[in-house]
Amino acid sequence: MQDVAVEVGYCAAYLTRLVHRQTGQTVNHWIIERRMAAARSLLLESDMCVNQIAELVGYQHEGHFFRQFRQYHQTTPQAWRKAQRTELNSNK
C-alpha cells in the first residue's frame, strides 16, 4: 500500500481511508474483488489452466487462490467454469 500511495502522491493512511470512503470496502477486500472479477473473466473466456489464471490475477500460491475463490463463490474455479459454460450453452 505504501508503494501505491507514493505513486499517487498520498500517504498510505489517507489512501486507505479514501478507498474505503469511495468503495465502502477495505483496500484488501477491494483488491480481492478485482482479482476475482479478472479470474472469472479468464475462466469464462479462455482455456488457460487455473494455475495460470491464479498467477495472472496476482496470486503467488495457487492454493491461496483456490481457497479464496471457494470462499467467494462456494465452488472451485474448475466447477465454476464448467457450470458457467454449461449455462451459456444451454441458453443458446
The string of pLDDT tens digits covering residues 31-43 is 899 999 999 999 9
54 Cα distance to chain centroid = 9
Q: Could you state, in order of their start, the residue ranges of all structural domains in the chain?
A: 28-90
CATH of 28-90, one of 1.10.10.10, 1.10.3720.10, 2.160.10.10, 1.10.10.60: 1.10.10.60
The 8-class DSSP code of residue 11 comes to -
Reply yes or no on whether the pLDDT at 82 is more than 90. yes
Nearest residue to 57 via CA among 37, 87, 82: 37
When the pLDDT of each residue in the chain is averaged and rounded to a whole number, the result is 92
Global pTM reads: 0.82
Residue 47 has φ and ψ, to the nearest 5°, of -110, 20
Alpha carbons 86 and 90: distance in angstroms, whole number: 6
Q: Do 78 and 50 contact (CB within 8 A), yes or no?
A: yes
Residue 3 pLDDT: 81
